[in-house]
Amino acid sequence: MTYREFYEYGKQKLQAAGIAEAALDARLLLEYICRTDRNELIVHGDRERSDLEEAFYKTVIGKRASRIPLQYITGEQEFMGLSFRVNEHTLIPRQDTEILVEEAMCHLSDGMRILDMCTGSGCILLSLLQYSNECEGVGIDLSGEALKVARENAERLQIDATFLEGDLFSPFEKNASGNGEAETLEPDRTAHRLFDMIVSNPPYIETAVIDTLMPEVREHEPLCALDGREDGLYFYRRIAAEAPCYMRRGAYLIFEIGCDQGDAVVSLMQAAGFAQIEVFKDYAGLDRVVCGVKE
């Protein structure tokens, strides 16, 4: 089969499976298997490809037709101009989340200490560290498997960051052995030092809504990273209430939110004592980020 015949095969299979961006996904998977770029289809579409490439391409097209997300097949997703590894243990970084990073960068100064709560693949924290100078970063997640991915991303990008496993701020509490020692991040950085910025894209989808999501999301992305409990606000409520204990005066708390959660999250932050609270919209004009300052 020629390169173009591969592409036409993949596009038709994905269209028949109801994939919305069948043509794009067919091309991206073809480039992934053949290690080519988008120009190959135009310039060398009539070039014969190997039987092995054909077998591999048909395999990945079959996976995508079964609604496995493209990014879990290729194992990568671009975010903030960087390439991040992803798998079934991490959410797939989305363009909407870049709004959170861009807003955080507006307030980021050299040498700040940043905490990324519910870090997942580490894409938020590592992007902030990549585009700043001499900042320190800590990412926390409940999933040890997700943290493996975050650490791999840090290593690939050659970015120094610390990743801790635990339930929100629990890694900073006295350890359970009863010896009264605080868990340390590094020998010279104890967990009780305060942060200049806390960022978070927590689970925020209402439990009852999970079953209505696209198959790619509800069947393949990690439920623990999606489910925000009954009203979708469980993690905002906890983080807003507990965060001030780990923030310097004047530090920023910045959340990604669901498009209908702006007023509710603002109220939670006000109740926790935050000031200068603002809501920022995404490229579609929907509420996407809330930012506040600890007084």
The string of pLDDT tens digits covering residues 203-219 is 999 999 999 999 999 99
Question: How open is the CA angle 285-218-208, to the nearest 5 degrees?
Answer: 75
> In terms of C-beta density within 10 A (0-12 exposed, 13-18 middle, 19 or more buried), how is residue 264 classed?
middle
Q: What does the pLDDT look like over 43-87, one tens digit per residue? A: 887 888 899 999 999 999 999 999 999 999 999 999 999 999 999
Predicted confidence at residue 234, as pLDDT, reads 95
Coil, helix or strand for 105?
A: helix
Q: pTM for this one?
A: 0.88
* Confidence grade of residue 23 (pLDDT, cut at 50, 70, 90): very high
Q: What does the pLDDT look like over 160-199, one tens digit per residue? A: 999 999 999 999 874 433 333 444 444 344 445 799 999 9
Task: Enumerate residues 6+ apart whose C-beta is below 8 A from 180.
Answer: 174
Task: Enumerate residues 6+ apart whose C-beta is below 8 A from 96.
Answer: 256, 282, 288
Question: How open is the CA angle 253-229-255, to the nearest 5 degrees?
Answer: 15
Per-domain boundaries in the chain: 3-66, 76-294
Q: How far is Cα 163 from Cα 102, in angstroms, rounded to an integer? A: 22
Poorest-pLDDT segment among 163-172, 183-192, 221-230, 275-284: 183-192
> So what CATH class is 76-294?
alpha beta
Predicted confidence at residue 192, as pLDDT, reads 53
What's CA 236's distance to the chain center, in Å? 17
Phi and psi, residue 164, nearest 5°: -125, 145
DSSP collapsed to 3 states, 136-183: EEEEEECCHHHHHHHHHHHHHHCCCCEEEECCCCHHHCECCCCCCCEC
Which pair of tokens denotes residue 204? 């925020």
Distances from the Cα of 65 to the Cα of 36, 70, 141, 212, angstroms: 22, 10, 31, 19
DSSP letter for 244, please: G
Mean pLDDT of 84-91: 96
What b/e string do you get for 124-152 counting C-beta neighbours within 10 Å, with b at 16 or more? Answer: bbbbbbebbeebbbbbbbebeebbbbbee
